[in-house]
Structure 1
Amino acid sequence: MDSSVAEQVEILGTILQPSKIALLLLGAWLLWFINNLAKKLADRLMLNLPSYRFLLLQSVTLFSFVWYLGGFYVLVVGVLDPPKEFILALGGSAVVAVGFALKDVAASLIAGLILLFDRPFQVGDRVSFSGVYGEITSIGLRSVRIKTLDDNLVTIPNASFITDVVSSGNSGAMDMMVVVDFHLAMDADISLAQQLLHEVVITSPYVYLKKNIAFTCKEIALSDRLAIRVQAKAYVFDVHYESAFCSDITRRGEIILARENIKRPVRS
């Protein structure tokens, strides 16, 4: 056997000692355990301090990034302690091999760092991306997790957000604009309908009254007939109550429009 090859095998045997591997696995488990503990602590704090929910979510995301990157570096260098010569000899071929095998993962890792500092959206934001709408629950090293309004958890690779368009509804704020549509007949009393709907909106328990409430009207083609679309635009005080806010306005709006005999579109 060539002396250089034998030397590398000997170095590899020194690095991959059972005791070092066991210590490496223990260290990896410790990294996971502390990160998981930090997330649980943040969840408890969010229950007691709801106004700091976004700050806590963003802090624990940043902590996970730094903790895993720094922790794995310390484990590899501190536990395995590979000599520089071995790293230089093995590094070139390993980088090429791993690069081809994990190019998508590497792209997502780099994209994750870009997302963390460029911040097109934050943990807690309501976003729309490639037909998926929901709340950002985590921004990880490899992927972003979105919880939809149907309570489904969607995982999207970080790299996808670098090239595609993503829309954020609240951009780090707790409140968010919600738009609710109502359709009226062409000869309906639009002014009265708008007054009634305004009363419905301002009396909702979910409305954020520090921001303006607006209404827009537009003539549209609804199925086989013309109609007036009235859009109520108001802010919900917490994005968690978006669906409840929409349902409340729709339910009470339909009741009051029917009670006041506001004409609605009918099939011809």
Structure 2
Amino acid sequence: MEELGLKGALSTITSDAIIEAVAVVALASLLIMAVQKLLPMLAQKLSGKPRLYLLAMVPLLRLVIIVLTIVMVVPILVEPSFENMLAIFGALGLALGFAFKDYANSLIAGIVTLYEMPYRPGDWIEINGQYGEVRAIGTRAAEIVTLDDTVIVIPHGLLWNNLLANGNDGTDNLMCVAELYLEPNHDVARMRELFRDVIYICPLTKTYQPVVVAVQGTDMGMKYRLKAYPLTPGDQTRFIADLTARAAEVCAAEGVKMISRPLLLQ
């Protein structure tokens, strides 16, 4: 019965209807391209949360345009009677349910992502062991760029069953940690003060944010963690490298030997 209803609905399609539907799809495509180009350009002129919210609107508007296009095209191709609409959308829903179950899962998760905003463009996140900056958020997946300049596509569906770590959470404050292992039997208080000076001397340090030098005695030596904020999240690699190099110079000047953790574990 449903098959007969679907055939009857498709039999009403005419060449004029196809031309009109193609025109609507082409117009929707142009509109999506305009949204994807103009909104990021406008966002570049803003700062803070308004910029992030504007960037997050891009995939949402794209999804709205796609849904409206489908709603407009189907009545153009098929006579908009209750039986025809029921047959078309029923068959479409059944096909999509089987063929694109995982895609639909990620799509729904994408809608939740746009609402809850666990990450935004510009955030540095880690999920499933992958760490990088969110470059773009689509309706199905997000793109992140790792510190090694590798683009990774992460389906939003991973949000359901995986932990997500967000380093800066929509701000430009990203804490970085430089870890050092030193041999014991040295003046811990003096080394802490020297390492604090190292952090403040570094030109990449955001000095108005908290600076912490934590120390812990372990079976691998005295573990120091130099925690501070770089000027921008994108400076994190150079920032940690600079802190480590300056701290190594201090250790050499004070006669305190650094421990290579991998060698010690062997």
TM-score (structure 2 length as normaliser): 0.85
CA gap 1:15/1:131 in 2 versus in 1, 3 angstroms: farther
Where does the alignment leave 5 or more consecutive residues of structure 2 unmatched? none
Note the C-alpha offset of 1:89: 2.0
What is the CA RMSD across the aligned residues, in angstroms? 2.6
Moved more, 126-135 or 206-215: 206-215
Q: Distance in 2 between matches of 1:124 and 1:108?
A: 21
What is the count of residue pairs matched by the alignment?
256
Q: Residues 251-262 of structure 1 correspond to what in structure 2 (within 5 A)?
A: 251-262=245-256
Residue aligning to 2:119: 121
Residue aligning to 2:218: 220
Task: Report the residue type matching 2:35 in the other structure.
Answer: N
Residue aligning to 1:241: 235
Task: Report the residue type matching 2:117 in the other structure.
Answer: R
Q: Residues 1-268 of structure 1 correspond to what in structure 2 (within 5 A)?
A: 7-11=8-12, 13-14=13-14, 17-38=17-38, 41-42=41-42, 46=44, 52=47, 55-66=50-61, 68-80=62-74, 81=76, 82=78, 83-85=80-82, 86-222=84-220, 227-265=221-259
Note the C-alpha offset of 1:16: 7.6
C-alpha contact 1:125 1:172 (8 A) present in aligned 2? yes
Q: Distance in 2 between matches of 1:236 and 1:242?
A: 6
Where does the alignment leave 5 or more consecutive residues of structure 1 unmatched? none
CA gap 1:57/1:6 in 2 versus in 1, 3 angstroms: closer
TM-score (structure 1 length as normaliser): 0.84
1:207-233 CA-partner distances (Å, limit 9, x unpaired): 1222221111112233xxxx1111111
Q: Distance in 1 between matches of 2:178 and 2:4?
A: 76
CA gap 1:204/1:4 in 2 versus in 1, 3 angstroms: closer
Between the aligned residues of both structures, percent identity stands at 25
C-alpha contact 2:172 2:233 (8 A) present in aligned 1? yes
C-alpha contact 1:186 1:265 (8 A) present in aligned 2? no
Note the C-alpha offset of 1:111: 0.3
Moved more, 155-164 or 212-221: 212-221
